[in-house]
Amino acid sequence: MTRNELVQEALYMAENITQNFRSVDGSCLYMSALLAAMMNDQFSVETRFVTGSLSVAGYTIFAHNPIKPKLTKKSDVIEQWDGHAWVELDDLIFDLSVFRTVFSTASTSRIQSLFEARFDRGSAYLVGQKNKLIEMGVVYTPLELLSDDDATIFIQNADRMGLINY
* 3-state SS class at 17: helix
Q: How many CB atoms lie within 10 A of CB 111?
A: 18
Q: Is 35 within the bounds of a domain? A: yes
Q: Is 149 within the bounds of a domain? A: yes
Cα separation, 53 vs 61, in Å, equals 8
100 near 25, Cβ under 8 Å? yes
What is the tally of helices (H) and strands (E) in the chain?
7, 6
Give the model's pLDDT for residue 3.
85
Q: Is 165 within the bounds of a domain? A: no
Q: Is 166 within the bounds of a domain? A: no
Q: Is 80 within the bounds of a domain? A: yes
Rg of the chain on CA atoms, in Å:
15
The domain in which residue 22 lies consists of: 3-160
Q: What is the pLDDT of residues 54-106, one digit of tens each?
A: 999 999 999 998 998 887 655 555 666 778 999 999 999 999 999 999 998 88
Q: Is 51 within the bounds of a domain? A: yes
Give the model's pLDDT for residue 25.
79
Q: What is the pLDDT of residues 113-141, one digit of tens each?
A: 999 999 998 899 999 999 999 999 999 99
Provide the domain count of the chain.
Answer: 1
Q: Is 140 within the bounds of a domain? A: yes
Backbone angles phi, psi at 29, to 5 degrees: -60, -45
Q: Is 139 within the bounds of a domain? A: yes
> What is the pTM for the complete model shown?
0.92
Q: What is the pLDDT of residues 20-40, one digit of tens each?
A: 999 887 899 999 999 999 999
Cα separation, 21 vs 27, in Å, equals 9
